[in-house]
Structure 1
Amino acid sequence: MLRIAKTVFLSASLTILLSACAHSPTGRNQLLLFSGDQMANLGQRSFEEMKQSQPISSDQAINAYVQCVTDAILAVVPPQADFSEWEVVVFDSEQVNAFALPGGKVGVYTGLLNVADTPDQLAAVIGHEIGHVLADHSNERLSRSQLATLGLTITGMSMSDSPYAAMAMAGLGLGVQVGILLPYNRAQESESDKIGLQLMHQAGFDPSASVALWKNMAAASEGAPPELLSTHPSPDTRIQALEKGVKALPQVPHRLTPRCQKPSQPH
């Protein structure tokens, strides 16, 4: 009876996985187990919770500046099937960070403006974060997590009679985390860099500013973990890839640069 249950479970799982295969905007194979509506709702709920728990900047100049850069990027982003509007919130925090969530939610921390020195550098960050949404990276990460859980479940079923089952499951859990989830996240980061370059280029920003931005990031992130155990590419790896990506972009004559002015003293 147990063998029959395992067979049915494995067959059903394989059917789900095959039906969830997709491709990212750069052509990379993806596993997406959740619908766009589900992810948009999840992103919207998460964003509302963040707005309730984190201070929001009331500085009109900073908000106008971030909105200006974001609007310029969004002007070249096609309409999305799962939501109709993008929302941008500036959080009052010294964190050097920004993010974008499914459902069109963009968050920028004021601390980022201390590292992103110019509108073009800020556009590099925002374009990158929006790239995560366009490439369904949240769906992909959640789906990979579900797949990891599925793998542990199948292994647990097959080893349920072994006295070493608990030890093997613990070891497999660590292997799944380090060997599958983390390297895949680095691939997502690199892919978003490519998408972000294209977006800022199309929007009229200088894509080479992304290289200057990550040099600033590298200087501000001393003591970062080694690349092997990080979800992000190392600064040197990222800078080299961005330099290569900038050279591959087509030349655009008479570029019209968006007129977004950074406040003189962001805080």
Structure 2
Amino acid sequence: MNLKSNYLLFLVFLMSLGCATNPFTGKQTMAIVSNDQLFPASFKQYDEFLKENKVVEGTEDAARITRVGQRIAKAAERYLNANGYEGYLKGYQWEYHLIEDKTKNAWCMPGGKIVFYTGILPVAQTDAGIAAIMGHEVAHALANHGQQRMSAAYIQQGIAIAGNVAITDDESRDLFNQYYGVGSTVGAMLPFSRSHEAEADRIGIILMAIAGYDPAVAPELWKRMESSNTPEFLSTHPSNSSRIAQLSALVANARAEAKKFGVTGFTE
């Protein structure tokens, strides 16, 4: 068997390795890199980030981030346990920190390590606004989006290498590299990322509602976000108008989900 055949077989084998189940959709997702590998690396990177940035401690805003984060984490546990995913959060080590930075951003690393920047607090305004952001970011971690993106990147790189191995003509190889690079990014990787953002919105609004925060705050939050000038098809995120419309349509369902857990009153 020649090198090309060996490589293509290896690529097929790689793509067949490791699957995880998304507990919110029930669908199988790529998991070439396991959480057992991903979490320790994530925790180490988080600790390094904290050492290199100004952590806000002992303030009411810092306390709010922790308070809201704990309620979102509890809501996630309740939802997962109620839907047959007891033990799903094994290995998660929830941690919440506020960072002094004007950037309007927040994120949650695989395994539950969360950062909020002070710059996004004026946009969030209330605890419910923080919960809308927190729910979205936590949803990325719960749905293993980081794991999927890393797996997809491996496959994207693997196909590129396979193409270069299989194509022997220099001119044809150059054309392949040119069109595959653009095509796989615009046609696959960016829509893949946008689908993750939309999925995190759907999961996040449910989590904030179960945590007792009014899901109607979520679309209002995005109305306050600055609009991006990047065309949606060239962005990793849905456009603000798309996101606001989707979140508005999800409010009633989020309230209905929260009601299943006895939550009928919401903090705004």
TM value normalised by structure 2: 0.88
Alignment of 1:51-66 (within 5 A): 51-66=50-65
Deviations for 1:142-165, whole angstroms, at most 9, x for unmatched residues? 111111101101110111333332
Give 2:240's aligned residue: 235
AA in 2 matched with 1:74: A
1:255 and 2:260 aligned: no
> Contact (CA 8 Å) 1:121, 1:209: kept in 2 or not?
yes
Change (3 A) 1:68 1:256: farther
1:143 and 2:146 aligned: no
1:9 aligned residue (3, 7, 11) = 7
Comparing 130-139 with 66-75, greater Cα deviation is found at 66-75
| Distance in 1 separating the partners of 2:45 and 2:217 | 31
Change (3 A) 1:80 1:30: closer
Shift of 1:102: 0.9
Give 1:208's aligned residue: 216
Give 1:264's aligned residue: none
Q: Quick one: percent identity of the two aligned structures? A: 30
1:115 aligned residue (108, 123, 132) = 123
Deviations for 1:113-141, whole angstroms, at most 9, x for unmatched residues? 11012111110100110000000000001
| Distance in 1 separating the partners of 2:185 and 2:105 | 24
Shift of 1:34: 0.7
Change (3 A) 1:50 1:189: same
> Contact (CA 8 Å) 2:131, 2:213: kept in 1 or not?
yes
| Distance in 1 separating the partners of 2:251 and 2:6 | 50
| Distance in 1 separating the partners of 2:58 and 2:187 | 43
Deviations for 1:189-212, whole angstroms, at most 9, x for unmatched residues? 000011101111111110111011
1:72 and 2:71 aligned: yes
Alignment of 1:139-218 (within 5 A): 139-217=147-225
Shift of 1:76: 1.7
Change (3 A) 1:241 1:223: closer
Q: Provide the aligned length of Structure 1 versus Structure 2.
A: 254
Shift of 1:83: 1.9
TM value normalised by structure 1: 0.88
1:127 and 2:135 aligned: yes
Segments of 5+ residues of structure 1 without an aligned counterpart are: 261-267
What secondary structure does 2:25 align onto? coil
| Distance in 2 separating the partners of 1:110 and 1:160 | 53
| Distance in 1 separating the partners of 2:190 and 2:125 | 30
> Contact (CA 8 Å) 1:26, 1:191: kept in 2 or not?
no
What secondary structure does 1:201 align onto? helix
Comparing 104-113 with 12-21, greater Cα deviation is found at 12-21
| Distance in 1 separating the partners of 2:94 and 2:228 | 35
| Distance in 2 separating the partners of 1:176 and 1:40 | 28
> Contact (CA 8 Å) 1:66, 1:90: kept in 2 or not?
yes
> Contact (CA 8 Å) 1:82, 1:103: kept in 2 or not?
no
| Bigger relative contact order (CA 8 A; separation at least 6) | 1
Segments of 5+ residues of structure 2 without an aligned counterpart are: 78-86
Deviations for 1:34-68, whole angstroms, at most 9, x for unmatched residues? 11111101211221221122221135211111111
Deviations for 1:57-86, whole angstroms, at most 9, x for unmatched residues? 135211111111111111122254552430
Cα RMSD over matched residues? Answer: 2.0
AA in 1 matched with 2:264: R
What secondary structure does 2:171 align onto? coil
> Contact (CA 8 Å) 1:96, 1:109: kept in 2 or not?
yes
